[in-house]
């Protein structure tokens, strides 16, 4: 896909709630983009559990998705992915913006997430959106060499000066 970041109008990216019929495409993207991918069953369980599952379509093709769980007082971003060929074009940030708006519209302001310590791109995105590092879970993830730490990030959308 040859595009520049400036060539993408907001209208080009369309969001919809993930449907069961999307899972086969989402799981394909998941396999291409994670070393330890979620299975179709996990996505299916997320849908049945009522998690906020969103797909992002570009030119009628799913290019990314997100999964968020909520409680009565906070939200946790469990998955956020943009397909390899479509990265670096602003899609990940647009998905995050939508997520944050969606979470806020449900009356929730506190958002948590965990990310591999080595995931520089995702960490840069989270910091750009105002997330702060609040902790480390040691040896949380599997990796080639054994285990890898998780960094825990937090955003309070009501914090002073926060502007998406």
Ligand X SMILES: CC(C)(COP(=O)(O)OP(=O)(O)OC[C@H]1O[C@@H](n2cnc3c(N)ncnc32)[C@H](O)[C@@H]1OP(=O)(O)O)[C@@H](O)C(=O)NCCC(=O)NCCS
* Residues of span 82-121 touching ligand X by CB under 6 A: 82, 87-93, 115, 119-121
Residue 63 Cβ, how far from ligand X at the closest point, in Å?
9
Residue 49 Cβ, how far from ligand X at the closest point, in Å?
19
Nearer to ligand X, 97 or 107 (CB): 97
Q: Pattern of binders to ligand X over 60-89, x per CB under 6 A?
A: --------------------xxx----xxx
Residue 53 Cβ, how far from ligand X at the closest point, in Å?
15
Residue 56 Cβ, how far from ligand X at the closest point, in Å?
9
Q: Are 75 and 68 in contact (CB under 8 A)?
A: yes
Residues that bind ligand X (rule: CB under 6 A) add up to a total of 19
Nearer to ligand X, 72 or 138 (CB): 138
Is residue 128 near ligand X by the rule CB under 6 A? Answer: yes
* Residues of span 7-66 touching ligand X by CB under 6 A: 33
Q: What's the residue count for the chain?
A: 164
Is residue 155 near ligand X by the rule CB under 6 A? Answer: no
User: Listing from the earlier edge strand, what are the strands of the sheet with 61-70?
Assistant: 13-17, 52-58, 61-70, 75-82, 110-116, 146-156, 132-143
Residues that bind ligand X in the complex, under the rule CB under 6 A: 33, 80-82, 87-93, 115, 119-122, 124-125, 128
């Amino acid at each position: 896909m040859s595009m520049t970041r400036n060539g993408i109008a907001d209208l080009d990216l369309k969001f919809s709630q993930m449907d069961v019929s999307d899972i086969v495409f989402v799981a394909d993207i998941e396999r291409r983009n994670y070393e330890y991918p979620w299975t179709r069953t996990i996505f299916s369980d997320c849908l049945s559990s009522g998690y906020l599952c969103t797909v992002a379509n570009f030119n009628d093709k799913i290019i990314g998705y997100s999964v968020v769980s909520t409680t009565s007082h906070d939200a946790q971003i469990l998955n956020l992915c943009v397909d390899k060929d479509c990265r670096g074009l602003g899609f990940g940030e647009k998905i995050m913006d939508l997520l944050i708006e969606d979470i806020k519209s449900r009356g929730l302001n506190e958002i948590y997430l965990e990310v591999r310590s080595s995931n520089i791109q995702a960490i840069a995105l989270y910091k750009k959106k105002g997330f702060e590092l609040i902790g480390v879970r040691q040896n949380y993830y599997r990796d080639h060499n054994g285990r890898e730490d998780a960094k825990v990030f937090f955003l309070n959308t009501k914090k002073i000066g926060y502007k998406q």
